[in-house]
């Protein structure tokens, strides 16, 4: 998620997401520049950001949080001050105590860096360089390249036998749901909003139908990265996207029983609940996006109980 004040739109008023800047890979190979090592890498995230949240979920599922450290930036973006993602007393940079903003970390790679500053950031403490800031690639590295250090090395969220199906679903979910809610929220024309709105709910209907027949989105017996990528958006849907991004046709918790059960099941997996902070999530969207919510008032609801029994066991 970027810290830019004014979301980029095209001539039709359609939101255009920017491209991430750093795309190196950690490889479990002797010749690799970046090799998997305990305590070498640090993950910078924002608890509000669904893209960064994916990486935290992978860190917990694979059992890597003892060898890869992570820290959070302040989720409140004070655009009028030109601050971007900030550190502070409550959100320090544990490795660079004098840094005030995530942009300072970016400047370790390029002192004159003037591009987008986004989370997540996978940072190499040895070379003091950003390895990668593309969430879809970071989760693949966490899944496959650190198995010799992982508590759960046998868990494969991108198994070779399922990759084509995972890729196919990701290619639908990303534009229509993950980015679809942003396309609706940041649209600057009625046509752009209408198209995004229809995409969001057509995708939700498809996912609801899949989950009415099987426990997870790709395979009935195991969670995959497709589940994680969809889940971080679904979790935020009712608390934020229904109102803030005007995706108000239906709610996950009221109108999609299988999606709601799915959200609860993943939330209840060991270690996942601690990656969720709904107050931080709502603070970011409602108090940062003043171009959408000028008063900055943060809604107190809705009240949703993610600890209710998920009822998905019978599908396995």
Query: Which mean pLDDT values do the consecutive 10-residue runs of the chain (316 residues) have?
Result: 60 60 94 97 98 98 98 87 84 96 95 92 98 97 98 98 98 98 97 98 98 97 97 98 98 98 98 98 96 97 97 90
51 known member of a binding site: no
C-alpha closest to that of 54 among 174, 145, 135: 135
Residues 63-80: b if buried by 16+ CB within 10 A, e if exposed: bbbebbbbebbbbbbebe
Identical fold between 1-155 and 160-269: no
Give the span between the Cα atoms of 296 and 126, in whole angstroms.
Answer: 40
Q: What are the sequence ranges of the domains in the chain?
A: 1-155, 160-269
Report yes or no: 199 and 183 within 8 Å, Cβ to Cβ. yes
134 known member of a binding site: yes
119 known member of a binding site: yes
Give the span between the Cα atoms of 159 and 138, in whole angstroms.
Answer: 16
116 known member of a binding site: yes
* pTM for this entry: 0.93
114 known member of a binding site: no
- What dihedral angle (degrees, nearest 10) is formed by the CA atoms of 288, 294, 300, 305? -60
Give the span between the Cα atoms of 143 and 162, in whole angstroms.
Answer: 14
Q: Of the listed 34, 44, 70, 182, which one is catalytic? A: 182
Q: Of the listed 41, 49, 70, 260, which one is catalytic? A: 49
Q: How far apart are the first and last CA of the chain?
A: 34
Positive or negative: CA dihedral 204, 210, 216, 218: negative
What CATH class is the domain 1-155? alpha beta
Backbone angles phi, psi at 142, to 5 degrees: -65, -35
List all residues 6 or more positions away from 149 whose beta carbon is below 8 Å from its beta carbon.
36, 38, 64, 67
Would you say domain 160-269 falls under CATH 1.10.3720.10? no
Catalytic site includes residue 49 = yes
């Amino acid at each position: 998620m970027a810290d830019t004040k004014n979301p980029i739109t095209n001539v039709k008023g359609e939101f255009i997401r920017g491209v991430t800047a750093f795309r190196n890979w950690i490889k479990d190979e002797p010749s690799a520049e970046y090799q998997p090592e305990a305590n070498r890498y640090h993950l910078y995230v924002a608890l509000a950001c669904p893209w960064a949240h994916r990486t935290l979920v992978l860190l917990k599922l694979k059992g890597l949080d003892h060898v890869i450290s992570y820290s959070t930036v302040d989720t409140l973006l004070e655009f009028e001050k030109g601050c971007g993602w900030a550190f502070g007393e409550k959100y320090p940079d544990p490795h660079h105590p004098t840094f005030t903003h995530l942009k300072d970390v970016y400047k370790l790679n390029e002192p004159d860096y003037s591009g987008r500053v986004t989370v997540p950031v996978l940072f190499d403490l040895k070379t003091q360089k950003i390895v990668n800031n593309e969430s879809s690639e970071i989760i693949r590295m966490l899944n496959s390249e650190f198995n010799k250090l992982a508590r759960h090395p046998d868990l494969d969220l991108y198994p070779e036998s399922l990759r084509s199906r995972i890729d196919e679903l990701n290619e639908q979910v990303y534009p229509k749901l993950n980015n679809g809610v942003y396309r609706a929220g940041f649209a600057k024309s009625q046509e752009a909003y209408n198209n995004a709105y229809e995409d969001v709910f057509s995708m939700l209907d498809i996912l609801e139908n899949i989950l009415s027949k099987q426990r997870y989105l790709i395979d009935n017996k195991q969670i995959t990265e497709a589940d994680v990528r969809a889940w971080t958006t679904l979790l935020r849907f009712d608390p934020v996207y229904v109102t803030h991004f005007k995706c108000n046709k239906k709610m996950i918790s009221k109108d999609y029983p299988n999606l709601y059960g799915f959200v609860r099941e993943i939330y209840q997996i060991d270690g996942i609940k601690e990656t969720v902070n709904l107050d931080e999530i709502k603070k970011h969207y409602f108090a940062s996006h003043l171009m959408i919510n000028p008063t900055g008032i943060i809604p107190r609801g809705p009240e949703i109980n993610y600890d209710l029994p998920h009822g998905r066991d019978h599908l396995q």
